[in-house]
Chains A and B, each alone.
Chain A
Amino acid sequence: LQIFEYNGSAVVAMVGKNCFAIASDRRLGVQLQTISTDFQKIYTIHDKLFIGLSGLATDAQTLYQRLVFRHKLYELREERNMKPETFASLVSSILYEKRFGPYFCQPVIAGLGDDDKPFICTMDSIGAKELAKDFVVSGTASESLYGACESMFKPDMEPDELFETISQALLSSVDRDCLSGWGGHVYVVTPTEVTERILKGRMD
């Protein structure tokens, strides 16, 4: 029983010109069996901050509930939204709290920080942050995603081109992974709007 491969997932985030995109697959499985093809893995923390949680679905749900709780408290006290960098440190700290009994999730965090500068990062299941300027990946399809993103990524893409790139990278990677896929879910976020799109992919 490989815990990280129990449910199956693929999450990727990319930076563009004053925008970012975050995408995930839509499969919820229990090992070889597919339970659902509309499972949400990317959650909104606030309108300029998104977190994608790959790994074990139950821990992703628990972790998301804890993070929303902490952000709501922060918002009440500070009377403003959390910056992505701050949020990433919060997630890292919450994950390390469970160092010897961890949440089996690998988060991908993407947001627009000060002056709407795009910020992305990922971390492992015990909170080791990995900042990147171009793209971050996680999930069972991560190795394929690294390859696809490395070859398809260009810096400073406009939102439309960024959407195309991240979508193609996601779909081609999950097609090489039996545990993820069954469609795609892409958010493209600019300082003024959030576009949510569902991708039609191979349903196998």
Chain B
Amino acid sequence: MESVFGFACKDFAVVVADASAVHSILVHKSNEDKIMHLDSHKLLGASGETGDRAQFTEFIQKNVALYHFRNGIPLTTAAAANFTRGELATALRKSPYMVNIILAGYDKDTGPSLYFIDYIASLHKVDRAAFGYGSYFALSMMDRYHRPDMTVDEAVKLVDQCISEIRKRLVVAPPNFVIKIVDKEGARLHSWKVSVEEGSVPVA
């Protein structure tokens, strides 16, 4: 099951997602990027049904871009989160999207923020959030070690701790993770945490 987690600090927000695309017992690929860039300063980490995830996140990304084209200014993170919730809520009683979302963004006047959006469109602004089986481990690690005044290096160390715990304790743990950060400078890839190289044959 797919893990996504993230947390916000004073000057930046981090979103981490596992990188495996799985179909029943088969792993299609282990370098799937599940954290979409909505615009220069927003990240959308999504987990859930593969098709729904890809379609829905792209739909949100294009609508965020459309708003920017039409109105000349970008959406705030809160507005993007509420728009996403609205789309999920409208689809909920017709054909629900089975996608859980962590939306992180940086606004010039309000700083970094993180939004938890359930697949049934429950929205809440939080400091730390996690989805999937990995959430049982990631949330506990973040509750213990997260502080709002962390530096980026300390934050990445905490992310490493969460990933180590997931790899250690989850029976079908995803081998690879992608870490992305959003701050004043924008949204960017920080690193991949890889324990199984895509395309290599592991030694028996």
Q: Which of A's residues lie within 8 Å of B, judged by CB?
A: 7, 28, 30, 33, 35-36, 39, 56-58, 61-62, 101
Binary per-residue interface labels of chain B (122-157) against chain A in the complex, 1 for a CB within 8 Å, 0 otherwise: 111010010000011001000000000000000000
A51 to B126, CA, bound (A): 23
For B85, the chain A residues whose CB sits under 8 A away are: 61
A28 to B143, CA, bound (A): 16
Cβ–Cβ contact A58 & B135, under 8 A: no
**In the complex where A33-B135, A36-B126, A101-B93 touch, is A58 in contact with B116 (Cβ < 8 A)?**
no
Indicate which residue in A7, A35, A101 contacts B116 across the interface (CB closer than 8 Å): A35
Q: How far is the CB of A176 from chain B (nearest CB, A)?
A: 25
Cβ–Cβ contact B124 & A62, under 8 A: no
For B15, the chain A residues whose CB sits under 8 A away are: none
Sort chain B's interface into a size bin.
10 to 19
* 4 additional A-B residue pairs with CB within 8 Å, beyond A36-B126, A58-B89, A58-B121: A39-B124, A61-B123, A62-B89, A101-B93
Binary per-residue interface labels of chain B (91-105) against chain A in the complex, 1 for a CB within 8 Å, 0 otherwise: 011000000000000
Cβ–Cβ contact B120 & A36, under 8 A: no
For A58, the chain B residues whose CB sits under 8 A away are: 89, 92, 118, 120-123
Closest to A98 in B: B93
Tally of contacts, chain A with chain B, CB under 8 A: 35
Q: Which of B's residues lie within 8 Å of A, judged by CB?
A: 85, 89, 92-93, 116, 118, 120-124, 126, 129, 135-136, 139
Indicate which residue in B93, B126, B136 contacts A35 across the interface (CB closer than 8 Å): B126
Q: How far is the CB of B170 from chain A (nearest CB, A)?
A: 15
Nearest 4 interchain pairs by C-beta: A57-B122, A58-B121, A58-B122, A58-B120
Query: Can you list 7 pairs linking A and B with CB atoms under 8 Å apart?
Result: A28-B122, A35-B126, A36-B126, A58-B89, A58-B118, A58-B120, A61-B85
Cβ–Cβ contact B129 & A35, under 8 A: yes
For B126, the chain A residues whose CB sits under 8 A away are: 35-36
A39 to B92, CA, bound (A): 21
Cβ–Cβ contact A56 & B129, under 8 A: no
Closest to B92 in A: A58
Cβ–Cβ contact B118 & A30, under 8 A: yes
A62 to B91, CA, bound (A): 12
Closest to B129 in A: A35
Indicate which residue in B89, B121, B124 contacts A36 across the interface (CB closer than 8 Å): B124
Q: How far is the CB of A48 from chain B (nearest CB, A)?
A: 27
Q: How far is the CB of A43 from chain B (nearest CB, A)?
A: 14
